[in-house]
Amino acid sequence: MITLFQITGSSSFAARAALECAGADYEVVDVHPRRRDEAPGFADANPLQRVPALRDGDVRISETGAILLWVGDRFPDAGLAPAVGTTARADHYRWVTWCANTLHVGWWPIMAGFYFSDDEAARASIEARGRDNMARHGAHLESWLSSHEWLAGDLPGVSDIYVYMLVGWANYYDDITLGGDAVADHYARVGALPGVVRARELDDLDERLIRFNPGLRGGKPLD
Ligand SMILES: N[C@@H](CCC(=O)N[C@@H](CS)C(=O)NCC(=O)O)C(=O)O
């Protein structure tokens, strides 16, 4: 049985959406954000105790991008990863890696200035630079999606799910939008996939990826 270690509404959403789209049989362990030691098996699955992390028999895997690539291969019939050796497969690697090393971490200067500085003034300038960078990343996505329905090949795949989550996080801000019409249309297409709809329901998220109940994680109060 596959076990997903998650915090609902966090980065683990993409892993759960991929598992749902794959039709996987899996269980979840809800990790309390401030009491990570209490989740049985979590430190074994990911010594860094960050979510998502996943266990499947002897397999231990963490990092959102790695888990998505793994799910794509673990469930080949779901069509979430293009065939090895194709140009679409190259696009699949490229977009998942770009999400992991650029778009995902591109949010940190905006969402998590405390990673970078204790100084409020410095944080404001770090955030401003982060917003400029996210605008560039949005333009890059817009350019590709203006001529491609999906990021890699002819079917929706794990890279689309990863981008969907990271684009959706812009909804936390009234004044941030990534890309233009093509990105918005892609967000709607991915958001309508049955597995993504189910993952949103399970994670208690609305169509903008905003929590219905901000004080709950995995259906339980935060404190
Ligand atoms: N690079 C990691 C980042 C994961 C991550 O930052 N997860 C957050 C929740 S969204 C977390 O567990 N943070 C706790 C921490 O950094 O200690 C990935 O892509 O999975």
Tokens coding 71: 């799910």
Q: Which atom of ligand 1 is nearest to the CA of 31?
A: 12
The rounded percent of the chain whose pLDDT value lies above 90 is 100
Q: Is the CB of 11 under 6 A from ligand 1?
A: yes
Q: Is the CB of 123 under 6 A from ligand 1?
A: no
Edge to edge, what strands does the sheet with 59-62 contain?
Answer: 26-30, 2-6, 53-56, 59-62
* Residues 156-191: tens digit of each pLDDT: 999 999 999 999 999 999 999 999 999 999 999 999
Architecture of domain 2-78+198-213: 3-Layer(aba) Sandwich (3.40)
Q: Is the CB of 104 under 6 A from ligand 1?
A: yes
Distance from the CA of 101 to the center of ligand 1, in angstroms? 13
Distance from the CA of 85 to the center of ligand 1, in angstroms? 31
Spell out the long-range contacts of 174-178 with Cβ–Cβ below 8 A and sequence spacing 24 or more: 176/110, 176/131, 176/134, 177/138, 178/134, 178/135, 178/137, 178/138, 178/141
- Name the CATH topology of 87-193: Glutathione S-transferase Yfyf (Class Pi); Chain A, domain 2 (1.20.1050)
pLDDT at 197: 98
Map out the domains of the chain as residue ranges: 2-78+198-213, 87-193
* Residues 192-220: tens digit of each pLDDT: 999 999 999 999 999 999 999 999 999 99
Report the alpha-carbon distance of residue 72 to residue 95 in Å, rounded.
13
Q: Is the CB of 46 under 6 A from ligand 1?
A: no
* Residues 22-59: tens digit of each pLDDT: 999 999 999 999 999 999 999 999 999 999 999 999 99
Q: If you average pLDDT over residues 125-147, what whole number do you get?
A: 98
By most ligand atoms within 8 Å of CB, the mutation choice from 4, 10, 11, 49 for ligand 1 is: 11
Q: Which atom of ligand 1 is nearest to the CA of 65?
A: 19
* Residues 116-135: tens digit of each pLDDT: 999 999 999 999 999 999 99
Look at residue 223 and tell me whether its pLDDT is greater than 90. Answer: no
Q: Is the CB of 51 under 6 A from ligand 1?
A: yes
Peptide bond into 52 cis (omega under 30): yes
